[in-house]
Structure 1
């Protein structure tokens, strides 16, 4: 169950969804969307995190764009999504992400800190937000912007978990290894999946890899329980 809220930014209110756990409060997670937006899939993952006991905020990162609707039924849905992403100004988008973390810290339902989780585009955004603000934990699924953000690796001090498929056409295996080398330190887990392509957690048939998706979620749940536990 979710509710619509507004997140203050320097340029106005950014719409977001808030998912509450059964007790009504808990540690906070800001969940950053993939390039397709705040889809049913992203909302389902937010609900999964809320079921674990977290209060989850999902900001509408495309809120500044006039037309951000993507028709999944079209053959060019991926091209539509990439076109939307290309319209974003990255520093402004990171600022919106940081604003969401600030709003989470001020949220009356959230206690016990704020972590960030992101998928695809949102995985890179979560990494940059973790480098720019104090977060309790980072989980990044195949962060597409990460190859260009590795100079920020030393600024990401939160316990972190990265997921990558080794059959990813967008982030080849040699680039995944370069990312691994840059981010590896105490407190960082790095999981790879041999047969999985990009966006393997997305249930859409063009992306989904059932075994990798299930394994990655198990790793995510275990990691959060160890590094960002829910007390109640």
Structure 2
């Protein structure tokens, strides 16, 4: 495990990304997109899992423009309050620009085979969906993204695999919006939606809403799709 420094494309500075490398290289890279809690232990655990699958895991600090190094959990009311403050202050367009810069850096890093995925959770799930519409990533995986029904106008721009993992009991994404995403996805062969009998953040390692069976099934689908797309 280590880190890498990535230059922002707008010239405003640079940001850090947490990196875990697999045993064997060259390998495809997976850009992991954080939740509203920053690059915390849950994201580091996911990075370790991704590296164990045989991919380079890269998790950029997307809150760097607000406050670098955010690392909080879902365990206390104070941390939830701070997390939502960060979410409100976060500029999603600049976040997408930073993710595009991370994808470009991942393609060129030593030991990489040039193929790159994005995989995000919660806020990151929304950003992964946006990356499918706006970037050249080889595959994008969205876990319980929020407000995805507001992004459907650009769904026709998705030309590479997009996996959308949806929590059927998601308190942050109403059922009507979830159904709109499922219905719209039927019109694009590249988009695959899956629903799980679980709450939002069912795949957050050691999280309060962890649902082991749903996480295992979703993670298996993600692993298979990543292997097909990244080699």
Question: What is the aligned-residue RMSD (CA, Å)?
Answer: 1.7
Where in structure 2 are the equivalents of 1:1-232 lying within 5 Å?
2-9=1-8, 10-66=11-67, 68-70=70-72, 72-184=74-186, 185-194=188-197, 196-225=198-227, 227-230=228-231
Tell me, in whole angstroms, the C-alpha distance in 2 between the residues paired with 1:173 and 1:114.
Answer: 32
Q: Describe the SS at the equivalent of 2:72.
A: coil
Q: Deviations over 1:28-79 (max 9, x none)?
A: 1111011111111111111111111111211000111137343654223222
* Unmatched 5+ stretches in structure 1: none
Moved over 4 A (4+): none
- Residues 191/71 of structure 1: CA separation in 2 closer, same or farther (3 Å cut): closer
Indicate the larger mover: 117-126 or 151-160. Answer: 151-160
Tell me, in whole angstroms, the C-alpha distance in 1 between the residues paired with 2:163 and 2:73.
Answer: 31
Indicate the larger mover: 160-169 or 65-74. Answer: 65-74
Tell me, in whole angstroms, the C-alpha distance in 1 between the residues paired with 2:103 and 2:17.
Answer: 12
TM-score, normalised on structure 2? 0.91
Q: Describe the SS at the equivalent of 2:77.
A: coil
Tell me, in whole angstroms, the C-alpha distance in 2 between the residues paired with 1:105 and 1:112.
Answer: 4
Tell me, in whole angstroms, the C-alpha distance in 1 between the residues paired with 2:146 and 2:74.
Answer: 20
- Residues 73/117 of structure 1: CA separation in 2 closer, same or farther (3 Å cut): closer
Tell me the number of residue pairs that the alignment of Structure 1 and Structure 2 aligns.
227
Tell me, in whole angstroms, the C-alpha distance in 2 between the residues paired with 1:46 and 1:191.
Answer: 22
